[in-house]
Structures are given as structure tokens and as C-alpha cells.
Amino acid sequence: MVKSPFMTSITYWKRFARLAIVLLVALVLLASSALLPGDKLERVRAYTRDIEFDYVSWTLQAVKVKLIQSALGTGNYLSADARHQLVLDYLDLIARMYQVERELYIIYADPDIADPHAASADLRRELSDLFAQKGLIGPVAESILQSQIAYIVGQTGLSLGGQPLPPVLYHSTALPWALVVSPRNVIRQDNNISLMPELGLDKHSELEHKVDQALNVSSLVVPIGGVGVYPTMVEETYDLDWLSEVVSHEWVHNFLSLRPLGINYLTSPELRTMNETAASIAGKEIGRAVLEEFYPELLPPPSPPTSPAEAGSLPKPEPPAFDFNKEMHKTRITVDQLLSEGKVEEAEAYMEQRRRTFWENGYRLRKLNQAYFAFYGAYADTPVGAAGADPVGAAVRELRARSPSLATFLNRISWMSSFEQLEKSLEN
């Protein structure tokens, strides 16, 4: 069927309006993500200024990629089956890339291989071909997954005129590291500075030591799964369950950033926890709905029964020998108690003791300190974990449990600008 000039004109203006929205939201969110200078921040940046991640350059490049994707609209011309298969082919390609990189690492590390360059020739050629293939199908796979998540967002009632606002846009990339800084006498994230992704662990350890010694703080360089800039930044992976959840999580941050809760993200630790917990809850729900709708064969197994009625005659499952979340929850509560009593050195000695316990049980924690809890404690979508007894996460979970839908939950919490508002909402 040949499109009429009138329909072609409508399509053109629709795409133009979409691109204008993308540019506008990108500029707004990029500006809002910048930290205001302050004495504490500048003291830390004295050690990070030369190794910080350049968000402006990354965002401009990502917007360029997305504008090209939107203008071409390649995924829109594929059938539903072809779109499904292209995403799976892309995930297989990423998995093979990781496998080849691991095999190359082994070749170069093997002391019995005299000429690793020659021995790895075939693998290096294959890796080069895989990168070329990724450059061709990666942008199309991203656009397909974006449209599928946008569809689910629309089904939940979070769209405006059938379109999520802002539109769902993400780009897979090497992610920056985050330097998290907390006071020693209380668990609180004072600074979170993004660092270049190519920095090695030796540089992480060296930076932490310098910052800790110079400023008498607790610091830790941590990996992240995504960043809520626009388009959102998401780690490259072949795990669609994880990918759909993280893309959804970061889109929720974009959604919140246009409302009071997101605008006030940096105002207090309570609001940061409200943001992250709400995004975690919503990201899991939207991500699972994407798999249910478009990739049911990749759904993870169902959760075990939660009540005797559901369990029926099934035997009671054995509890894990070492429950990471429960043990971390217990650790956080003890640390908070010690710090509240002014026993900073005792708390730090206890955390190192507990880190060794985690290590002995298979959890390779490089450091366990105040900065660790300041970062991971904000993700309180489960009852036990690094948040300890912090009431904020429990309140957010309670609000979701009382909300008849995900849209109701997000629309309620997104207009809050203090933890007190959340408490009053639950009281009423």
C-alpha cells in the first residue's frame, strides 16, 4: 500500500514532535541531575575531578543515536515474530561476546602459551565481527524493547494520550562507577560522584584511601546497573529479565524527575530512599509484565508458595544455610546501634568481622563500611537487607500494598516531597 502525501506529512510531524520531546526532556533531566557545588562536594572532587564521567558528552551522543533510531523506525517495519527473534538474537550475540572475551583473557593469562597474540587470532577476529554485528542490530533491539516497555507502561495507565511521558528511551553502554561518601559516625550518603568506567580496582582502592584519610569519612566505589539520565544509561547484558527490569526502573526515575519526589531526590536521605524503593518496586512489576507479554518462555520460575493454603501438600523448603539479606539486615541494625552510641571504631571493627563472615560464605565483598550501607540501604523494596530497620522503605512498600494499581501508587507517591507526607498518607 502506497502512503498518500497527507499521511506521509502526518507521520513526519509525529516523529518531529517526538524528537522535540526527547530533546526537551533530555535537557531538563540532564540539568536536574547536576549537583550544586558545596564545600563537602568540592573537598571530595579535589580527588576525583580528573577521573569523573562526562555525562554531557555521553548524553549528546546517546540522543543522537536515539534520534537516528526514531527517524528510521526500522523496528516498526518488522512483524511481531521478527521483533521477538531479533531481540533474542541480540541477547545471544552479547552472550557470545562475553564468552569470547573470557576465552581471550584465559589465553593471555595462561603461562604455557608462549605467543598469546598468535594463539588468539581467530578469537580476536570473531570478536571484531561480533562488535560489527552489535553495531547493526543493537540499536534496533533497543528500539524494540523500548516500544514493548512503553506498551506495558501504557497498559498500567501511566501514559498520557497513549504515550509514556517521558518516552521510554535507553542506551546500553559501559557504565561509570560511583564513589559513595558517608560520614563515619552515621550512615548517610553525602556524595555520589560518577567515575570513568575504565578505572581499575587498584585505582578504586587508592582513591578510597586518599578520601578516607584526608576527610575522615567512609567511602566506597560501587558498580551500578543504570543511571536515570535521558536517554537512560543501562549496563549491557544478555539477561532479558534483568534488562527489562533495569530499563523500567530507570524510566520510573525519569517519570519521577518531572514531579516533586524526583525533583527533591537530593533533598534528604528519606526522599532518596523513597525514590529508589518506588523505582525498584515499579521496575520489577513492569519488567516482569514485559516478559509475560512478549517473552513468556524466558520468565523466571514462579516464587514458592507463601501460605499453607497455596502450598497444599508440598514439603516445606529447607531454608538456605546462609541468607545474605537476613544477615545483612542483622549487620545493619547492629552497626546503627553502635554508631548511635558513638562507638565508631567498634562499628567499623564489627563490619570488617562481618565482611569476613560473608566472604567465607561465598559473598565476595571487597569492603563493608558506612558508605556501603548508605548506598545499598536506599533500595528497600524487600523487608530485609542493607536498609536495616529504616522505616522509609517499609512505608513505601505499605503504600504499594494498599494501592489498587501500580499507576495509583506511582501517581500518589510521585507528588510527595517529604517522608512526613508519606506517613500521613498511610495514616489516612
Query: Taking a C-beta distance cutoff of 8 angstroms, is the pair 229, 30 a contact?
Result: yes
Is 370 a residue whose pLDDT tops 80?
yes
Residue 178 β-bridge partners: 194, 222
What confidence score (pLDDT) does residue 69 get? 74
Question: Given pLDDT bands bounded at 50, 70 and 90, which one contains residue 95?
Answer: very high
Q: Are strands 217-222 and 177-183 parallel, antiparallel or unpaired?
A: antiparallel
What would the pLDDT profile of 125-182 be if each residue is shown by its tens digit?
A: 999 999 999 988 998 999 999 999 999 999 998 887 778 888 999 999 889 999 999 9
Percent of the chain scoring above 70 in pLDDT: 86
List all residues 6 or more positions away from 269 whose beta carbon is below 8 Å from its beta carbon: 188, 189, 378
What confidence score (pLDDT) does residue 126 get? 93
Query: Helices 269-294 and 419-427 sit at what angle, rounded to 10 degrees?
Result: 70
More confident residue, 228 or 52: 52
Could you give the CA distance from residue 392 to residue 271 in angstroms, rounded to a whole number?
9
Query: Any idea of the CA torsion for 206, 209, 211, 215, to the nearest 10 degrees?
Result: -160
Is 228 a residue whose pLDDT tops 90?
no
Q: Where are the domains of the chain?
A: 13-35+55-171
pLDDT (average), residues 4-10:
39
Could you give the CA distance from residue 406 to residue 404 in angstroms, rounded to a whole number?
7
What would the pLDDT profile of 262-307 be if each residue is shown by its tens digit?
A: 999 989 999 999 999 999 999 999 999 999 999 999 987 765 554 4
Could you give the CA distance from residue 57 to residue 77 in angstroms, rounded to a whole number?
31
Residue ranges of the alpha helices (H) in 80-166?
80-109, 116-119, 121-156
Residue 49 β-bridge partners: none
Which of these, 72, 369, 424, 62, lies nearest to 211 by C-alpha position? 369
Residue linked to cell 506521509: 8
